[in-house]
Amino acid sequence: MSYTDMQNKKIHQGRNIKRFREMLGIKQEALAFELGDDWNQKKISLLEQKETVESDILAQVAQILKVPAEAIENFDEEQAVNIISNTFNTHDHSNGVNVQPTFTFNPLDKMVELYERMLQQQKEMIDKLERLIEKEQ
């Protein structure tokens, strides 16, 4: 895939919601519950099939999943490594030469850190749901 193809590639926001939700171990029913009375599992399923999600709904989902809305709007697995390497590239590009990035951190450590944060968020969600269940009984 050429660089131009990658730039023109559409981001599927619904699929990204599903990816983040699954990474966090949150079921569609739980996300629907957090979004409110108008939501159910079927509506979440339909939302995850949409290529573009309304910005207000996307913002609500991002807040519930505790991820930046921009992550859902822009996440593309193929470009993720490029985004990370460009973000943390410490080389000076003033001479116009594009050089390979030198990481000042271990990318694997960052992935482990992200995974641990997601596990913590999952634990918090489970605790919250358990409290709600206890409250209803």
Its pTM stands at 0.54
Residue with the larger pLDDT of the pair 119 and 49:
49
At 42-97, the pLDDT tens digits run: 999 999 999 999 999 999 999 999 888 888 888 776 665 555 555 544 444 444 45
Tokens of 22: 């699954």
What pLDDT band is residue 5 in, cutting at 50, 70 and 90? very low
At 12-41, the pLDDT tens digits run: 999 999 988 888 889 999 999 999 999 999
Query: DSSP string of 14-67?
Result: HHHHHHHHHHTT--HHHHHHHH-TT--HHHHHHHTT-SS--HHHHHHHHHHHTS
Distance of CA 37 to the CA centre of its chain: 24
